[in-house]
Amino acid sequence: MAESFGSDAERYDQARPRYPQAMVDRIATGSPGLAVPDVPDTLDVGCGTGIAARQFQDAGRTVLGVEPDARMAEVARRLGTEVDVATFEAWDPAGREFDAVIAGQAWHWIDPVAGAAKAAQVLRPHARLAAFWNVFQLPPDLAEAVATSYQRAVPDAPFDFRAMTRGGLDANQPILTKAADGIREAGAFGEPEQWRFDWERTYTRDAWLDQIPTQGAFTRLSPAKLAEVLEGVGAAIDAMGGSFTMPYATVVITATRTAA
């Protein structure tokens, strides 16, 4: 599934939500800066098409991305982010060090202990590791429509999609806990913290249907099965008046590199 997001990298970049400015500012201003022009001070792990990287660049950071999917990396480069194509675990830092390592919607694809150890390797003392996720909660009627449409199209799905559509912070807490435990086990950081930033976004029918194909459970569906899902979800949004407001919580697992 991790390798499927690049199948429509342009749509991914256009449809996926951005991150709250308050979160970007807190990480960017709380990380020491090199103040050396054109020298990357922030490493974006699993940078995808550069969504988070561009936000941090706008906040004054110089960002290098690491991304295993060459299709995603190509879009990120075209939009202004330097990218090395590699998995983070196998990536060669070539002696480079950073004042922040960030990861948006990506850390759960990385071994949590090996990833934290690699981050410690490239972070200067007192620099920050910050992994963050946009967690959303579908309105109940829409969640039911998504689950029903998916299970009708993919009756032999190897997971409980209805449980996945419940979403929310509780459903995602195991990912957050695993990330924090990995940081602790790596042993090179202070105690991890969990930050939360609440916000919301109103989606039109077309805007939400455009995002669905970028989500992991849908990226590998055949065009016919995807069309079946989109038809059912679109009908549900139409029944809601053609739009809905999605509550989001952007959650950060973060820790600072110890001096030793």
pLDDT, position 2:
42
8 A C-beta contact, residue 131 and residue 119: no
8 A C-beta contact, residue 76 and residue 48: yes
pTM (predicted TM-score): 0.88
8 A C-beta contact, residue 70 and residue 85: yes
pLDDT, position 38:
62
Q: How far is CA 137 from the centre of its chain?
A: 16
8 A C-beta contact, residue 214 and residue 12: yes
Query: Residue 221 in 3-state DSSP?
Result: coil
Name all domains of the chain by residue range, CATH numbers in brackets: 2-138+166-201+246-257 (3.40.50.150)
pLDDT, position 164:
55
Dihedral sign for Cα atoms in the order 148, 5, 105, 108: positive
- Name the nearest CA neighbour of 44 among 175, 117, 134, 132: 132
Residues sharing a CB contact under 8 Å with residue 17, sequence separation 6 or more, in sequence order: 134, 201, 211, 248
Q: What does the chain come to in residues? A: 260
pLDDT, position 158:
54
* 258 Ramachandran zone, left/alpha/beta (phi>0; psi -120 to 50): beta
pLDDT tens, residue order, the chain (260 aa) = 444 444 568 888 998 999 999 999 999 987 766 555 566 799 999 999 999 999 999 999 999 999 999 999 999 999 999 999 999 999 999 999 999 999 999 999 999 999 999 999 999 999 999 999 999 888 888 888 888 887 887 777 655 555 555 667 777 889 999 999 999 999 999 999 999 999 999 999 999 998 888 876 676 777 888 888 889 889 999 999 999 999 999 999 999 999 86
